[in-house]
Amino acid sequence: MLSELAFSGRHAEQSVWVISQRYNSVLKDLREQTNGCACFTQKDRDSFDNCLRENDVIPTLEERQRIKEELKKETSKKRERLSSVVAGGNSKQYLGKELQLSDIDKMTPEQIDKLYCKYEARLGASMTKTLGNSFINLYVMGVSKYFKVVDPPKLIQDLKEDPFSQSRFN
């Protein structure tokens, strides 16, 4: 069912999020259908290289090695992530205030840690809500295959507004 949803989900206005501890454990057919990939610290030696190579991110081995070494530095990783949030124009949403790249560059490691904690909390809340909505949509799609659901959008809306569902997915 996951493969079916991944390959034809866009026709049902569905997005697929796959969360895995290993990039290589996700079926290659599924990985080839992606339009975005976020990699965090990789324990699996080949996952990082495969992700970069398959997605044509960084062409040379030397450049990939340099970036891998840079990612090992904790403060540097946090600073880079915060910089990408600012560069993407999302600092107000995820950091709580408008910032410039120069503001991030001037911050001390302690300030970076504090701001990064705020970012993780807001990102986590946003992801939980998005995943909850995706789960509700998937649930309604599955139920609709076996039972006659008169108004699927109404059922989706009811589930999103249900206090039990809200406590589980928000």
Round to whole Å and give the CA distance between 95 and 115: 7
Round to whole Å and give the CA distance between 134 and 141: 10
Q: What is the mean pLDDT of residues 99-108?
A: 88
Round to whole Å and give the CA distance between 142 and 14: 12
DSSP state of 12: G
Overall pTM surpassing 0.85 (yes/no): no
- Tens of pLDDT, residues 1-58: 566 666 676 666 777 777 777 778 888 877 777 777 777 766 676 777 777 777 776 7
> Is the C-alpha dihedral spanning 19, 113, 42, 35 positive or negative?
positive
Q: Which two tokens stand for residue 136?
A: 């509700």
Q: What is the mean pLDDT of residues 63-74?
A: 72
- Tens of pLDDT, residues 131-144: 888 888 888 988 88
Residue 12 has a pLDDT of 67
Domain ranges across the chain: 1-72
pLDDT above 60: residue 170: no
Q: Which two tokens stand for residue 161?
A: 């507004």
Q: What is the mean pLDDT of residues 89-103?
A: 88
Report which of residues 26 and 151 the model is more confident about. 151
Q: Would you place residue 72 in the very low, low, confident or very high pLDDT band (cuts 50, 70, 90)? A: low
Unique residue bearing structure tokens 């970076």: 112
Rg (CA), the chain: 19
Return mean pLDDT, the chain.
Answer: 80
Unique residue bearing structure tokens 């107000």: 92
> Is the C-alpha dihedral spanning 33, 36, 40, 46 positive or negative?
positive
